[in-house]
Homo-oligomer: A and B are copies of this chain.
């Protein structure tokens, strides 16, 4: 049904790699039979896994390397010495045009550094950001930055707003997504200098962005806006706080349903409905964060995810390819920055 797409995979990234990765590819294959994979990593460990999953042998090509990036490697060190690692080679496959996007569950900082170096930034963008989807009462919300930049100034936040808005149009299919800046209150005087200056810039700017103003932490789950913009420190903590809250709430629920005979009977009746809630809030369903601002599609999977989560990260990459996300964001930025000659800015890219 769809044209073939090739995704390159860092088969050695993640806590349970390569087993989890190969099983994730197998699960993704069921949903996305038109996708081909380039698997980078230790062939001696990957090949036997493929032997046990014959249905995907035909869509997978293994590219051997015996180097991998460890979880505690510093990004600068990987940039200096990691050129033969499975992560680097997988990203490089996108730069060379052999793959349309890359997925890795490895070291986030290293993946960001390698992607920036190998794929380069899109013209007109200063810093990349990590964007993800959150479930909300109304549907889904895009949030960024989820951890690429621990220190952000007002300009970075404005750039994230633009990138997030285009991402929401491409991935959520919204015509004019609303954008909010995460803050400690909704009044103008609230917040630190960076958010106050960014709000002023977004209000006054000629950008065709539907800027809602400030939003607070509880607005994320309420779905008050389609795009929540924040710095990578706060965004990462908000994301993990939400995940942790879902986890402890469901553990309370589990205990409650075990607490009496009546509750156990109630669980049996309500099981089907409860499974839907579990699915709707399953962090694995929201696995796969996109690196925005790069000249190529790079998706980061949670390091601790399982095969189901990894398959979702693959689906995010395939979705972004299908929606031509990179071309769209490049066009938006060209439209927004007509003063910069695109040819000059694009020099050295791609």
Residues from chain B with Cβ under 8 Å of A262 in the complex: 269-270, 272-273
A252 CA to B246 CA, complexed, in Å:
12
Q: Is A61 an interface residue (CB 8 A)?
A: no
Of B150, B259, B270, the contact of A276 (CB 8 Å cutoff) = B259
Instruction: Given contact pairs A218-B243, A221-B245, A245-B249, enumerate 11 new A-B contacts (beta carbons under 8 Å).
Output: A147-B184, A217-B239, A220-B241, A241-B241, A246-B249, A253-B253, A259-B273, A260-B272, A260-B273, A262-B273, A267-B270
A328 to chain B, nearest CB (A): 29
- Check if A184 sits within 8 Å of B252, measured CB to CB: no
Give 5 closest A-B pairs by Cβ, nearest first: A266-B270, A217-B240, A266-B269, A218-B244, A221-B244
- Check if B221 sits within 8 Å of A241, measured CB to CB: yes
Q: Is A31 an interface residue (CB 8 A)?
A: no
A175 to chain B, nearest CB (A): 24
A237 to chain B, nearest CB (A): 4
A contact residues, total (Cβ < 8 Å): 67
Q: Is A277 an interface residue (CB 8 A)?
A: yes
A227 to chain B, nearest CB (A): 16
Residues from chain B with Cβ under 8 Å of A266 in the complex: 265-271, 273
Docked complex: A175-226 residues within 8 A CB-CB of B = 182-184, 187, 189-193, 216-223
Among the interface residues A217, A223, A253, which one has the most CB atoms of the partner chain B within 10 A?
A217
Q: Is A50 an interface residue (CB 8 A)?
A: no
- Flag A159-179 by CB within 8 Å of B: 1 or 0 each: 000000000000000000000
Number of copies of chain A assembled together = 2
Residues from chain B with Cβ under 8 Å of A216 in the complex: 236-237, 240
Pairs A–B under 8 Å by Cβ, sample size 16: A135-B248, A150-B190, A182-B237, A184-B233, A217-B241, A221-B247, A230-B237, A234-B237, A237-B237, A238-B238, A238-B241, A241-B245, A259-B276, A262-B273, A263-B273, A267-B270
Residues from chain B with Cβ under 8 Å of A183 in the complex: 237
Q: Is A51 an interface residue (CB 8 A)?
A: no
A269 CA to B262 CA, complexed, in Å:
5
A252 CA to B247 CA, complexed, in Å:
15
- Check if A221 sits within 8 Å of B234, measured CB to CB: no
Residues from chain B with Cβ under 8 Å of A219 in the complex: 244
Residues from chain B with Cβ under 8 Å of A193 in the complex: 151
- Check if A150 sits within 8 Å of B191, measured CB to CB: yes
- Check if B249 sits within 8 Å of A150, measured CB to CB: no
A76 to chain B, nearest CB (A): 10
